Amino acid sequence: MGDGVTDGRFHLNRRRLLAGGAVAVAAGATLSHSGIAQSAVPAEAVDRAVEPFHGWHQAGVATSPQAHALFIAVDLEPQPHRGPQETLAAVLRLWTSDAERLTQGTPALADTEPELAQRPARLTVTVGVGPRLFDRIGLGNRRPQAVADPPAFATDRLEPQWCGGDLLLQICADDPITVAHTSRVLLKNVRGMTRQRWRQKGFRQAAGSGAHSMRNLMGQVDGTANIVDEAGFDRHVWDDGDDQPWFAGGTTLVLRRIRAEMDTWDELDRTSKELSVGRRFDSGAPLTGSREDDVPDFDAAEGGIPVIPPNAHIALARPHSDDERFLRRPYNYDDAPPAGRITDSGLIFAAYQRDPAVQFTPVQRRLAAADALNEWITTIGSATFAILPGVEPGGYLGQTLLS
């Protein structure tokens, strides 16, 4: 820039500017909900809609899935004058401060693009801690037993660039600009203390589309028969603190990156696709029903042949006991393909539960062994995170772990 342009002729009163923005947003912020998934918000309110930040649980789990998600894993960087536990506390305090403002439509402290904060669009910021971090910060004895990577599955083809991570930032909103600005603020404020390991960007149907379950890019209705009520969340999702009292109100996320082998999938006829999934593609109904929420009849047969094949995806993925239920909150991905391929897309499969070893893992073991879909899907990434308990005003995320 030329000289003379920084002489301050247009000193705005920053404090006033930010306060004004906050008031405008608060006036427009009429939509919120508490803990249970809801249907899509009226779309004229998309940009001003707010999700609560404080509470017993973090938002972004029971929250009705927003249209856009960004999952970012970072590793802690060694600091010259600070131990890893102090570094972690510093990161979590900063993220708490930023998230409690940004999610409510208020710019972060020292937000350099404050106007981008004024359309929260149901923004949630959800923070998790990877299983190996507990030892690294000298708190191995406080790791909940449930927070452990699932075993290797025969069908996994894990690529290190999509695995692991000390910390997870899950940023969801109905507006992609909100997601971009939030990630920028959260990451730059901890620069030097963290290094990005991977990021995965996902999407569902746009807000206001009125859709219930989403469709994935293979064309399936995805997310039928999910956990929706408070009792179900308490039973299957939220930790009760029995193992580690500090973790009460948290949950364990298993995040899997599942590539869709679209080229071979597209060669399959529709009947074979529906038999491999066990559902119709038009309605999402099970092959034994006519509506998406009809309960599949796995015993139904025609001429001695099961209507839903025993190796159909839903036959193996369904809970074989009530213990095996968990919350699925998946997002599609569609990235630039490597040279010579035309598509690189699939599913960011996010499963939230009390204990993967008794919920996710047995289901995935069955799927790995026999799922008819395995020929067209490949798990290429896997990461596990303790989604920290929620926080009340004045506290910070992870406080019960670190204090």
CA distance 146 to 133: 14
Q: What is the Cα gyration radius of the chain?
A: 22
Q: Are 117 and 349 in contact (CB under 8 A)?
A: no
Q: Give the type of residue at 197.
A: R
3-class secondary-structure state, position 265: helix
Q: Is 5 in the site for a second copy (CB under 8 A)?
A: yes
Q: Are 64 and 51 in contact (CB under 8 A)?
A: no
For a second copy, the closer CB: 79 or 161: 161
One residue of 307, 317, 367, 388 binding a second copy per CB under 8 A: 307
3-class secondary-structure state, position 322: helix
3-class secondary-structure state, position 176: helix
| Binding region for a second copy (CB under 8 A) out of 9-17, 145-153, 235-243, 314-322 | 9-17
End-to-end CA gap in the chain: 48
Comparing CA positions, the residue from 354, 300, 293, 347 lying closest to residue 322 is 354
| Binding region for a second copy (CB under 8 A) out of 55-63, 200-208, 289-297, 386-394 | 200-208
Tell me how far, at minimum, the Cβ of 162 lies from a second copy, in Å: 11
Structure tokens belonging to residue 334: 């569609």
Binding mask 333-352 for a second copy (x = CB under 8 A): -x-xx-xx-xx-x-------
Q: Is 159 in the site for a second copy (CB under 8 A)?
A: no
Comparing CA positions, the residue from 220, 200, 239, 198 lying closest to residue 326 is 239
> For residue 125, how many C-alpha atoms fall within 13 Å in the half-sphere facing its CB?
30
Catalytic residue among 47, 174, 175, 222: 222
Q: How far from chain centre, in Å, is Cα 186?
A: 17
H-assigned helices in 312-391: 313-317, 360-370
One residue of 332, 359, 361, 400 binding a second copy per CB under 8 A: 332
Rule CB under 8 A: which of 29-58 touch a second copy?
Answer: 42-44, 46-47
For a second copy, the closer CB: 177 or 368: 177
One residue of 33, 54, 142, 215 binding a second copy per CB under 8 A: 215
Q: Give the type of residue at 41.
A: V
Binding mask 265-294 for a second copy (x = CB under 8 A): xx-xxxxx-xxx---xxx----x-------
Known active-site residue 282:
no
For a second copy, the closer CB: 179 or 253: 179
For a second copy, the closer CB: 135 or 263: 263
Rule CB under 8 A: which of 115-154 touch a second copy?
Answer: 115-116, 119, 121
For a second copy, the closer CB: 302 or 322: 302
Q: Is 85 in the site for a second copy (CB under 8 A)?
A: no
For a second copy, the closer CB: 115 or 293: 115
Q: Which residues are catalytic?
A: 222
